């Protein structure tokens, strides 16, 4: 038996949460790509790229909250990682910290 089998996600609900989170990450990536190609305010089917990005980011935030609520990831660990990333960005990028 493969030693990694015990790490398999057995719970069907957790599998679905992970799968949808993966899909939402891809959709955020695609929305950002459209912004780079056409700009924030370009419209497609009456929706700006900004609005589409906002919608996709909201969908991803929902899935992150579900990952936390299902106890697949620890909320405090996620926020510590977020804060560590903010510190790295402040040090190594031109991004000005918003908060």
Q: Sketch the domain layout of the chain as residue ranges.
A: 12-73
Residues 31, 53: Cα–Cα separation, whole Å = 5
Alpha helices by DSSP H, listed for 1-99, are 12-38, 49-69, 75-92
Q: Calculate helix-pair angle for 75-92, 49-69, nearest 10 degrees.
A: 140
Give the separation between CA 31 and CA 29, rounded to whole angstroms: 6
pLDDT of 98: 54
Averaged confidence pLDDT in the chain: 91
Interval 12-56: pLDDT, tens: 999 999 999 999 999 999 999 999 999 999 999 999 999 999 999
Phi, psi of 36 (to 5 degrees): -65, -40
With bands split at pLDDT 50, 70 and 90, how would you rate the model's confidence at 5? very low
Residue % of the chain over a pLDDT of 70? 90
Three-state SS for 41? coil
pLDDT score for 7:
63
Closest to 31 measured CA to CA, from 18, 21, 40: 40
């Amino acid at each position: 038996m493969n030693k990694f089998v015990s790490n398999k996600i057995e719970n069907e609900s957790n599998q679905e949460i992970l799968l949808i989170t993966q899909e939402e990450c891809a959709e955020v990536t695609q929305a950002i790509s459209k912004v780079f190609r056409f700009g924030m305010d370009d419209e497609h089917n009456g929706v700006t790229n900004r609005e589409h990005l906002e919608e996709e980011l909201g969908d991803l935030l929902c899935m992150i909250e579900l990952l936390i609520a299902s106890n697949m990831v620890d909320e405090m660990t996620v926020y510590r990682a977020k804060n560590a990333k903010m510190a790295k960005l402040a040090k190594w990028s031109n991004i000005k910290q918003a908060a």
